[in-house]
């Protein structure tokens, strides 16, 4: 994926660009910037996710489940209790299996779990996107589990934080919802500590979604700040 981004930059004859990404997009943005720091003017990141094992376990094994026990029970439904010890792998098996009915059930449950926990205030119409659009649910769940069970194909756990010295001269903004349960605030804090030029902006009345009012405000402010670079 990093190579794909670099191919796009070259294709459009862009010398240096501002890289913007949220959630999984922040993972890609950081990975790209650490690989090609000389091609990045600035970084605008939201809902920081570094795909560390502890981040994945927080959301898909034991952590966020304590905040949303009702939604968590629905997340567990497609998986037999004997496989609850490794839910990401259990979901991945079903999402890549031949039983289409089982695959769709798993895809819907996986997607609903994330959408149901993405906002500070639950929006049923937002969650319905996972139940009403089978194509979205299957694609979303398959891509996520593929990367997550393989640790995003990084060389080592915590790679993006450990290699932050490679972006030490790149200015940037980190926008983080204080009550983000999908990508908990600890990751944004850990990144900020090793990347001083990354200004951390907490949004105290937001969760994970880029559509929350406070998040939108900070992202627009950040893009305005860097538009003259």
CA 206 to CA 219: how far, in whole Å? 13
pLDDT for res 29 = 99
Question: How far apart are the two ends of the chain, measured CA to CA in Å?
Answer: 25
> Do 89 and 146 share a domain, yes or no?
yes
Polymer length of the chain: 229
**Cα dihedral 178→184→188→194 (10° resolution):** 140
> Do 143 and 220 share a domain, yes or no?
no
Catalytic hit among 23, 26, 31, 118: 23
Task: Kindly report, residue by residue over 129-156, the tens digit of the pLDDT.
Answer: 899 999 999 999 999 999 999 999 999 9
DSSP secondary structure letters along 130-151: HHH-HHHHHHHHHHHHHHHHTG
**CB-CB contact of 130 with 108 (8 Å):** yes
pLDDT band at 229 (very low <50, low <70, confident <90, very high): confident
> Do 95 and 131 share a domain, yes or no?
yes
> Do 108 and 193 share a domain, yes or no?
no
3-state secondary structure of 125: helix
- Of the three residues 103, 121, 153, the one that is the final residue of a domain is 153
User: Residue 123 above 90 pLDDT?
Assistant: no
Catalytic hit among 92, 180, 190, 201: 180
Residue 189, domain CATH:
3.40.50.1820
CA 164 to CA 159: how far, in whole Å? 9
> Do 129 and 119 share a domain, yes or no?
yes
- Of the three residues 125, 153, 181, the one that is the final residue of a domain is 153
> Do 68 and 29 share a domain, yes or no?
no
> Do 96 and 162 share a domain, yes or no?
no
pLDDT band at 38 (very low <50, low <70, confident <90, very high): very high
> Do 101 and 123 share a domain, yes or no?
yes
Helices (H), 36-86: 53-60, 69-76
Q: Is 180 an annotated catalytic residue?
A: yes
How many alpha carbons lie under 13 Å from residue 86 in its C-beta half-sphere? 9
> Do 39 and 71 share a domain, yes or no?
no
> Do 79 and 143 share a domain, yes or no?
yes
Task: Kindly report, residue by residue over 66-115, the tens digit of the pLDDT.
Answer: 999 999 999 999 999 999 999 999 999 999 999 999 999 999 999 999 99
Number of domains in the chain: 2
CA 187 to CA 52: how far, in whole Å? 9
Give the predicted TM-score (pTM) of the model. 0.94
CA 82 to CA 86: how far, in whole Å? 9
Catalytic hit among 31, 65, 208, 209: 208
- The domain in which residue 186 lies consists of 2-51+154-226
CA 151 to CA 157: how far, in whole Å? 7
3-state secondary structure of 114: helix
> Do 147 and 189 share a domain, yes or no?
no
Task: Kindly report, residue by residue over 16-30, the tens digit of the pLDDT.
Answer: 999 999 999 999 999
3-state secondary structure of 49: coil
CA 101 to CA 169: how far, in whole Å? 50
CA-closest candidate to residue 187, choices 23, 68, 19:
23
CA 11 to CA 74: how far, in whole Å? 45
- Of the three residues 101, 132, 153, the one that is the final residue of a domain is 153
> Do 71 and 121 share a domain, yes or no?
yes
pLDDT band at 54 (very low <50, low <70, confident <90, very high): very high
User: Residue 228 above 90 pLDDT?
Assistant: no
Task: Kindly report, residue by residue over 164-221, the tens digit of the pLDDT.
Answer: 999 999 999 999 999 999 999 999 999 999 999 999 999 999 999 999 999 999 999 9
């Amino acid at each position: 994926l990093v190579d794909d981004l670099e191919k796009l930059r070259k294709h459009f004859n862009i010398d240096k660009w501002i890289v913007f990404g949220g959630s999984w997009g922040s993972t890609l943005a950081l990975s790209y910037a650490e690989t090609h720091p000389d091609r990045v003017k600035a970084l605008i990141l939201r809902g920081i996710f570094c795909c560390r094992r502890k981040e994945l376990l927080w959301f898909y094994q034991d952590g966020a489940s304590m905040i949303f026990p009702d939604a968590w029970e629905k997340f567990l439904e497609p998986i037999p209790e004997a496989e609850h010890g490794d839910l990401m792998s259990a979901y991945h098996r079903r999402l890549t299996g031949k039983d289409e009915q089982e695959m769709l059930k798993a895809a819907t449950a996986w997607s609903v779990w994330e959408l149901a926990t993405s906002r500070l205030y639950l929006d049923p119409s937002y969650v319905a996107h996972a139940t009403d659009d089978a194509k979205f649910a299957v694609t979303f769940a398959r891509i996520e589990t593929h990367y997550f069970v393989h640790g995003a194909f990084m060389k080592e756990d915590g790679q993006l934080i450990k290699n932050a010295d490679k972006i030490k001269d790149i200015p940037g903004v980190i926008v983080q919802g204080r009550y983000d349960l999908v990508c908990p605030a600890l990751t944004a804090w850990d990144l900020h500590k090793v990347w001083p030029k990354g200004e951390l902006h907490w949004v105290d009345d937001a969760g994970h979604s880029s559509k929350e009012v406070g998040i939108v405000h900070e992202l627009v402010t950040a893009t305005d700040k860097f538009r003259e670079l």
